Amino acid sequence: MTRMDRGAQDPAQDPERTVVSLKAGATRTAILEQAAALFATKGFDGTSLSDIAAAAGLTRPAVYHYFGSKEELLAGLIAEMSSGAADRMEEIRRDSSIDATTKLRRITEDIVRDRIERPDQFRLLERSEASLPEPVATEHRMARRNILNAIKSVIAEGVLAGEFRTCDERIGALSLLGMCNWVAWWYRADGDSDAGAVISAMASNAVAMFARPTARTPSRSGVDGALALVREDLDFLERVIASRSRKRR
């Protein structure tokens, strides 16, 4: 059987094709990483494709093979940081096999891990947000809304399930994002705790922000659980009123 015949039968199993695909993915990632670092330090206007090629150990034509311009590079960075994150948040939100607490923990872990692993890309995104070209700007704004809505939805789910205390979902989601995003500025791999420990601690802090106190966790979910808590409050109120009445006698 010739190599062509083998490839025609099952091209996905061709080892040479797989290696080429892996190399292409690694090269594209390397270009994006170097572009983000240079854009963050030298600015978008002050960085050339030649600078990016040199930093990535490639020739300028090699960079053109993946990206035709700096604008395309910027669009690629936005797609990875914004749209990619939005897709991951939505996937977690829709997972019916886990509860809201687990969803919130996984969302936080995902965001913090991304800020630790790609701080340059995130800082670049934050600094250039107001000057993003179209249609990149629209895509970025939509992704940000989707991320916010996914987190709001998980918080609302947790409140209804009795896992989280009642709160304003939008303020809660923005607070969570602010806490996670700031990691891109303060975390230092050579001076701070192990990345895994930071991710775990931040996720625990996020859950603690919304968790309902154990004493106020309903024994049942839905309307029955909520009514049970109301009855407890009414019983407590009646006891306070009765106690004050006895003291006045």
- Stretch among 31-45, 106-120, 199-213 having the lowest mean pLDDT: 31-45
What tens digit of pLDDT does each residue of 9-26 get?
444 444 433 333 435 567
Q: What is the pLDDT of residue 99?
A: 95
What tens digit of pLDDT does each residue of 100-141 get?
999 999 999 999 999 998 887 788 777 777 767 777 788 888
Nearest to 57 by CA among 36, 39, 20, 30: 30
> Are 125 and 71 a contacting pair, CB within 8 Å?
no
Q: Which two tokens stand for residue 109?
A: 């872990």
> Are 147 and 160 a contacting pair, CB within 8 Å?
no
> Are 218 and 229 a contacting pair, CB within 8 Å?
yes
- How far, in Å, CA of 18 to CA of 156, rounded? 43
> Are 82 and 140 a contacting pair, CB within 8 Å?
yes
- The distance from CA 142 to its chain's CA centroid, rounded to whole angstroms, is 14
Give the helix ranges, DSSP H, for 94-221: 100-117, 119-128, 136-160, 169-181, 183-186, 195-210
User: In terms of pTM, does the model score above 0.75?
Assistant: no
Given CA atoms 65, 67, 70, 73 in this order, what sign does their dihedral have?
A: negative
Neighbour-count burial of 66, counting CB atoms closer than 10 A to its CB (0-12 exposed, 13-18 middle, 19+ buried): middle
